[in-house]
Structure 1
Amino acid sequence: MNDPLRRKTRWRLVLGAGSESCLGSLSGQAAARDEALAYLYDREYGDGRNVRPGGPGSLDESQLTVPEWINDVHELFPRRTIERIEKDALERYQLQEMVTNPDLLARAQPSQTLLKAVLHTRHLMNAQVLALARQLVRRVVEQLMEKLAREVRQPFYGALDRRRRSLLKVAKNFDARTTLRRNLKNWQPQERRLVIDAPYFHSRVRRQTDRWQLILLVDESGSMMDSVIHAAVTAACFWHLRALKTHLVLFDTAIVDVTADCTDPVETLMKVQLGGGTDIGQALAYAHSLIENPRRTIVVLISDFFEGAPVDRLFGVARRLIADGATLLGLAALDAAAHPHYDENVARQLVNLGAHVGAMTPGELAEWVARKVG
């Protein structure tokens, strides 16, 4: 965007609705920013609730629009602007439902939208509201765990062990050949019928994954919230596969190793600090320091690949990691609708170095890892 157009757009955002005749209309991200700003600042024109009649939304308790607005603000504006908008919302317009109203949180329906809003604003909450917010986070996480646990663990249930018998009578384990052979004595030639006294079943054995490390590196910068939420829950599912040694590391320009909290995604999510820069190279270097046996290690980098630090360092660390024999899997950031968003140039160069790069759901990731270690 050239400077004159940028200045015109900024003035249009400052002046708000009514200035279209001289400054023109907005589109794309600028229009989304205008809508988010209007939701808050149009309250200057309003009635007792500071909402302009016909404006973009109301504060009726039956309409939980505040969480969606909070998430929009955090996706559309830089950190300094977010801080100013939050300050005005709380101090100037008393838009405090999400951070001071325990009744609203207590009756709110759990959803991923609400979860993200809580994580965005928990630093503004008092102790009472924060306790309720934590309960809400746990309810949403439990729903996600119930949904994802089966598809993450299923690929690790193992292959059939045809040398061992099982007393667990499951149709998919039925051993037809052994059953026929062991029951041939019951063949009735006149009726041309075989009577099965005792069916036989194969045993299933757990895959031998104890020698493998799985290191999940999760970018927590900017608009990575959906990926962070799913990564925390997915790591918990992997953690319960006891033969697989799982690490979970969050990063922006700093690194937070939350492996100790893998069993509790709520604690992991409550430690997330969104909105910083990105230093992927530093995160890969930390993962490199955790590796015990490179040829039995998978490093999963979940990021949008928009590197804030010198990109040559990122490629240098990736090159060393792959040369040592470790497997590097880069997963493009996915939003709640599973749409990928990433720097294609950086991803392409990682592939040229020998990394695997793609976009996967948690279940698809589990299948990929199971094939690798199987």
Structure 2
Amino acid sequence: MTAPPPTPSTPPAPLAPPPTPDPGLERWRLILGAPAEACTGPLGGEAAARDAALDWLYGRDPDLGRRGVRRGPTATREGGHGPSEVTAVDWLDDVHRLFPKETVERLERDAVEQYGIDEIVTDPEVLSRVEPSQSLLRAVLRTKHLMNPRVLAAARRIVEAVVEDLTRRLRPEIRRSLTGSRNRRPSRIPLSRDFDLKGTLRANLAHYQPEHRRVLIERPRFHSRSRRHLEQWQLILLVDQSGSMAGSVIHSAVTAACLWGLPGLRTHLVAFDTQVVDLTADVPDPVELLMGVQLGGGTDIARAVHYAAGLVENPRRTVVALVTDFYEGGDPYRLVRTVRDMAAQGVTVLGLATLDEEAEPAYDRELAARLAEAGAHVGAMTPGRLAEFVAEKVGRG
């Protein structure tokens, strides 16, 4: 009996490729945390690593836990990625690897400002890895009194990087606003008092007529009024160095440095809390200036404004820009009286609730309103808008 031919073996069915994760569901899972996993499905690979990094930071917030967001009773962590086992250095390495730069800056800002993870700005190893940003510079300024010399040296890298970036972006805008003011009225008719007799004679000597003993004037010369008036202006920046004003302190230092050396404009920078410190001599080096500023403490605005009044040389050619949140710890009556006296003499007084790129102030509106009634211009400005304001005043002469 002949055996039947062997039946060819059936090849195994190919394995189905893993399902492609839905980016929308994955994003919601990262936002909401483990409690959302029943609806969104689990995370894997790099998404799971992102979730661990987010949970290290936001998982410590009890409010998020009560709302069932980020951490809930069913939340688990594999691989020991709990807040107590991952160091700030490990976490920074992870977020720099897993997230884009804009997200990294937000995470670092929240770590310092919202959750008080001070080792990000007090540990030299962490500082060597951190991405320089304005939020971290504010944190450095708030905590540098706690730093030893080794940590201060590492923190200086953040100060230098942020100051360099701000200066590069602000200097062209600020200087263009001021130097452009000289040409804002090119069609102005020259006035007789501006006539330059000596300059006109020198320019027209070639047209001297000896028989008539006279010079034909073909090219009259006039003095530049805008230049002469510009040389008489003072800008006095008074900056509150309480902790809430850190952003304005940074921008005030950089703004003063950008204005420094402009022909015809003398810039002063004065910081204050309960004491007044004239920082004008340090303005050319804003890094050293910021490393010397000490945020925090009380606030005596009246004392600072009184000091500024003593710097005024020509009231009608002076702008005093008071950068503060207007929460006065000194004598508010003295403050209002001094502002009223300066305004009556012709000083332009600006009360700025903030001086930074966001211009979103939080301030004592009652005192600010009293200063406005006394003659101050009260509001919030970016550094570029401050330069435009000064340029407009200078341009009017």
Output the TM-score relative to the length of structure 1.
Answer: 0.65
Alignment partner, residue 330 of structure 1? 351
Q: Partner of 2:236: helix, strand, or coil? A: strand
Q: Partner of 1:305: helix, strand, or coil? A: coil
For residue 320 of structure 2, the aligned residue among 299, 303, 315 is 299
Question: For the residues of structure 1 that align with 2:92 and 2:155, how far apart are their CA atoms?
Answer: 20
Given the alignment of the two structures, is residue 62 of structure 1 paired with residue 94 of structure 2, yes or no?
A: yes
Question: For the residues of structure 2 that align with 1:154 and 1:335, how far apart are their CA atoms?
Answer: 18
Deviation at 1:52, TM superposition (A): 5.5
Alignment partner, residue 79 of structure 1? none
Deviation at 1:206, TM superposition (A): 7.2
Alignment partner, residue 366 of structure 2? 345
Question: For the residues of structure 2 that align with 1:49 and 1:98, how far apart are their CA atoms?
Answer: 22
Given the alignment of the two structures, is residue 238 of structure 1 paired with residue 259 of structure 2, yes or no?
A: yes
Question: For the residues of structure 2 that align with 1:284 and 1:115, how far apart are their CA atoms?
Answer: 27
Deviation at 1:146, TM superposition (A): 0.9
Alignment partner, residue 125 of structure 1? 147
Is 1:66–1:98's contact at 8 Å kept on the other side of the alignment? no
Question: For the residues of structure 2 that align with 1:335 and 1:345, how far apart are their CA atoms?
Answer: 22
Alignment partner, residue 380 of structure 2? 359
Given the alignment of the two structures, is residue 248 of structure 1 paired with residue 269 of structure 2, yes or no?
A: yes
Alignment partner, residue 177 of structure 1? none
For residue 147 of structure 1, the aligned residue among 165, 169, 180 is 169
Q: Partner of 1:307: helix, strand, or coil? A: coil
Q: How does 1:27-176 map to 2 (within 5 A)?
A: 35=61, 51=83, 59=91, 61-63=93-95, 65=107, 68-72=110-114, 96-102=119-125, 104-157=126-179, 158-159=182-183
Given residue 254 of structure 1, which amino acid in structure 2 is its aligned partner? Answer: Q
Deviation at 1:295, TM superposition (A): 1.6
Structure showing greater Rg: 2
The CA deviation string for residues 298-322 of structure 1, in whole angstroms up to 9 with x for no partner, is 1110111111112111111112222
Aligned-residue CA RMSD (Å): 3.3
Deviation at 1:50, TM superposition (A): 7.4
Given residue 331 of structure 2, which amino acid in structure 1 is its aligned partner? Answer: P
The CA deviation string for residues 31-83 of structure 1, in whole angstroms up to 9 with x for no partner, is x9x94999xxxxxxx998872599xxx8453337565333336xxxxxxxxxx
Given the alignment of the two structures, is residue 210 of structure 1 paired with residue 242 of structure 2, yes or no?
A: no
User: Structure 1: where are the runs of 5+ without partners?
Assistant: 1-31, 39-45, 74-84, 90-94, 164-203
Question: For the residues of structure 2 that align with 1:312 and 1:304, how far apart are their CA atoms?
Answer: 17
Question: For the residues of structure 1 that align with 2:380 and 2:389, how far apart are their CA atoms?
Answer: 12
Is 2:356–2:383's contact at 8 Å kept on the other side of the alignment? no
Question: For the residues of structure 2 that align with 1:134 and 1:366, how far apart are their CA atoms?
Answer: 28
Runs of 4+ in 1 over 6 A off after TM superposition: 46-50
Question: For the residues of structure 2 that align with 1:336 and 1:72, how far apart are their CA atoms?
Answer: 21
Deviation at 1:340, TM superposition (A): 1.8
Is 1:36–1:72's contact at 8 Å kept on the other side of the alignment? no
How many residue pairs get aligned? The number is 275
Is 1:298–1:328's contact at 8 Å kept on the other side of the alignment? yes
Output the TM-score relative to the length of structure 2.
Answer: 0.62
Question: For the residues of structure 2 that align with 1:319 and 1:35, how far apart are their CA atoms?
Answer: 48
Q: Partner of 1:224: helix, strand, or coil? A: helix
Deviation at 1:101, TM superposition (A): 2.6
User: Structure 2: where are the runs of 5+ without partners?
Assistant: 1-57, 65-76, 96-103, 189-223
For residue 219 of structure 1, the aligned residue among 235, 240, 244 is 240
Is 2:325–2:354's contact at 8 Å kept on the other side of the alignment? yes
Identical-pair percentage: 50
Q: Partner of 1:156: helix, strand, or coil? A: helix
Question: For the residues of structure 1 that align with 2:357 and 2:113, how far apart are their CA atoms?
Answer: 12
Question: For the residues of structure 1 that align with 2:129 and 2:84, how far apart are their CA atoms?
Answer: 27
Is 1:302–1:330's contact at 8 Å kept on the other side of the alignment? yes
Is 1:156–1:207's contact at 8 Å kept on the other side of the alignment? no
The CA deviation string for residues 190-249 of structure 1, in whole angstroms up to 9 with x for no partner, is xxxxxxxxxxxxxx9974411111100011113101111111111111113131010000
Alignment partner, residue 169 of structure 1? none
Question: For the residues of structure 2 that align with 1:96 and 1:118, how far apart are their CA atoms?
Answer: 11
Deviation at 1:108, TM superposition (A): 2.5
Deviation at 1:265, TM superposition (A): 1.1
Question: For the residues of structure 2 that align with 1:287 and 1:318, how far apart are their CA atoms?
Answer: 10
